[in-house]
Structure 1
């Protein structure tokens, strides 16, 4: 019997997403109405996505949830979460028969606290398996029993908490043949159908997916996945959806992505973009960030163009916690937020693609607040090749701002010295973090930053400043 984490009647997860999307939309609206710590001045991504009838999610890692900015963005911006590693076999059952549920349970708890749906990732995969399984030299019948027991334990524990499972992850080679995994060697291709049937038996309300990478466009690999889906459906196997991971390279989004999504949808399957990130050669610059923003727009539009594309999940919260630089040498900056937790041009592109519009209010209406912060930017002295600047921040909100960060874009400007904060620059973006001696701006309080910078030719003042991600007046 699978162990259940529920001590009372379990909350029903979204076997069908519409009702929950409406709920998350209202929840997000409440967050913004409260207005205290929104990661962006506009409506959060989860809310504008819900208006389009899709979810917008992120992979999260339990170990990073102790970082305030990471936790805030993860909770406020996304309506769905995927455990980055906590539900993988190696993490759950490092020793045979001994499950470590704590980190995975924490992901579920976080999702419940923020009214988010959870995508289970993953039940059967060739990678990140414990050594006792990889090195066990098990027979086919033994592997079958081990796989069934694992699915029963994990899917059973989280039945009612997980709306969908990546039941089988990455079963294909690039040429569309089956991967030579421990499962394929021991059980043949039938392990995929068997895993889906077992997962459906354990949690009949969960949506069951096959998930793979390099299948965003029409190619040999996605053809193999398509042919498998046709066979499984013909055999009556409980397959409900296809997960298209979408670990992409900037400037190389497949032109056939929408058509590829559509052909799976035409089989009666849901499709989800499950692990989206778009990497570039680092360091980033304004041109690379614009291209990345265009690529994110292309992916979101491809999903929105197909009614059975039910959601998009980015693989991580911010560039500082992305897996990309550890795997792809010299590449990174793949997500919607930079390493200082500031939204990038890609964030704005996704927001616009989802139909969001910022409403800064009427600045001539004295009864309408202009925002929770105000910035006064002054050029104190200009000598042609450089200048001295002053930036005064005022907290015009009704509550204190702790661990503040101010960011602005200033292409062509290189700060050589800054004071009254911790200064950094990346790709034309300047970020100043609170110094240890002044970490909090109380309501109505101001602080002044100073800097010296080099510049190339004539440069315009920054058009926008963001305090902890919120646009200032």
Structure 2
């Protein structure tokens, strides 16, 4: 198990294993396992959450990010001709900083369109112009920065007929070919996908998608891949999943699992989590087995950022991490499928020392203890002052000082630090001349 002390000064970090810690997170990050297999392991993310533990996991475990909502039409063009790129730019910048690719989502969809567009009265020429302008503007902005785009999303009904939408009703089925052509012109290097749900197995809807892709290829329309969303229900992974991936691959296009989650009726139980892990592994194994399956993206990696409870009443727990960022059996199943170990691996707790305020002869300091992929049943923090500082008072901890050596242990009520949780204690102390930040041990 890895535990780390973190400081808000120039002091070097040193940390010791804390009593009562429990291992949880992966030895080898999923992204490294996936890369070794030549695959992508991605997650949908919310830009505003890309800090703290959420940001740490998103950056460390995944080699691809999909903006959950930040690139959809209502977000980027809420009023005609006025664009808001703030969250999309934030996600792209985060991905660049963490050596991740980005999957754009989505350019043409019947849902989450701004009111001015959805409620407008457009001639076919006007509608075509609006669509071309939107695609060209958005794809050009991120030219060279995105690996792939879900260009057209959810074009079919369950019986394989075209969905009645603003685009189909106004422009006919060829809006799909037009959208792909415009996106390719704006960024020839990006891989272009058609994305849909309930097309994971061989059925009427997936066959309609298959026939469309075959037709587009024959016409020379730029189409690089098919996205299978894979919003699945516990125990219901289609038996023809791998067969379906293979038949699309045989058309000469890539396949990506783009929005994987596996929901269960709440509450979750050990038995349900075990079944969920088996289902995740089935999906992962199918992708690993087909060369042209480029990878899998989970639709949010933590239950705290999942859309399922808001849409499917009584269902949830659909992602690989629980609401407190603890990896579930599904996480280990993904790792195993990618060639990793199924042994519960290591985690980390951190102790962060900071000076909150300082005056002529005194200062207030605090230490924050936080855990990710680990937990504590008790804790003790120690450091040595190098400039004669003396603690006079402490709260939320019992602190003693002997010479320059300080030792602080948990109070009776805050010894437990859950995976994803934290506790903070504070103190007042005196200083004279200088107040350097000490090296702290958590042990």
Following the alignment from structure 1 to structure 2, what is the Cα–Cα distance between the partners of residues 40 and 309? 27
Gap runs ≥5 in structure 1: 1-33, 362-369, 374-393, 409-417, 425-429, 447-473
TM-score (normalised: structure 2): 0.77
Out of 202, 224, 236, the residue aligned to residue 218 of structure 1 is: 202
Q: Is the 8 A contact 1:155 1:199 kept in 2?
A: yes
5 Å matches for 1:70-469? 70-357=54-341, 402-404=369-371, 406-407=374-375, 420-421=413-414, 433-437=421-425, 444-446=441-443
CA deviation map 1:97-131 (0-9, x unaligned): 00011111011100001000000101111100000
Cα distance, 1:321 vs structure 2: 1.1
Q: Is the 8 A contact 1:303 1:309 kept in 2?
A: yes
Following the alignment from structure 2 to structure 1, what is the Cα–Cα distance between the partners of residues 255 and 184? 18
Following the alignment from structure 2 to structure 1, what is the Cα–Cα distance between the partners of residues 317 and 416? 19
1:404 partner SS:
strand
Structure of greater Rg: 2
TM-score (normalised: structure 1): 0.72
Q: Is the 8 A contact 1:423 1:433 kept in 2?
A: no
1:356 partner SS:
coil
**Residues 35, 184 of structure 1: CA spacing in aligned structure 2 closer, same or farther, 3 A cutoff?**
farther
1:437 partner SS:
strand
| Alignment match, 2:47 | 62
Higher relative contact order (CA 8 A, sep 6+): 2
1:228 partner SS:
helix
| Structure 1 runs, 4 residues or longer, greater than 4 Å off | 358-361, 370-373, 405-408
Q: Is the 8 A contact 1:246 1:277 kept in 2?
A: yes
CA deviation map 1:273-319 (0-9, x unaligned): 00000010111110000000000000000101110000100000200
Gap runs ≥5 in structure 2: 1-12, 16-22, 352-366, 377-410, 427-438
Q: Is the 8 A contact 1:342 1:407 kept in 2?
A: no
**Residues 419, 167 of structure 1: CA spacing in aligned structure 2 closer, same or farther, 3 A cutoff?**
farther
Cα distance, 1:134 vs structure 2: 0.5
**Residues 434, 202 of structure 1: CA spacing in aligned structure 2 closer, same or farther, 3 A cutoff?**
closer
2:425 partner SS:
coil
Q: Aligned residues, how many? A: 363
The alignment yields a C-alpha RMSD, in angstroms, of 2.8
**Residues 106, 422 of structure 1: CA spacing in aligned structure 2 closer, same or farther, 3 A cutoff?**
farther
| Alignment match, 2:383 | none
CA deviation map 1:57-93 (0-9, x unaligned): 0001112123x11000000000000000000000000
Following the alignment from structure 1 to structure 2, what is the Cα–Cα distance between the partners of residues 359 and 82? 29
1:58 partner SS:
strand
1:51 matched to 2:48: no
CA deviation map 1:115-161 (0-9, x unaligned): 00000101111100000000111011111000000011000100101
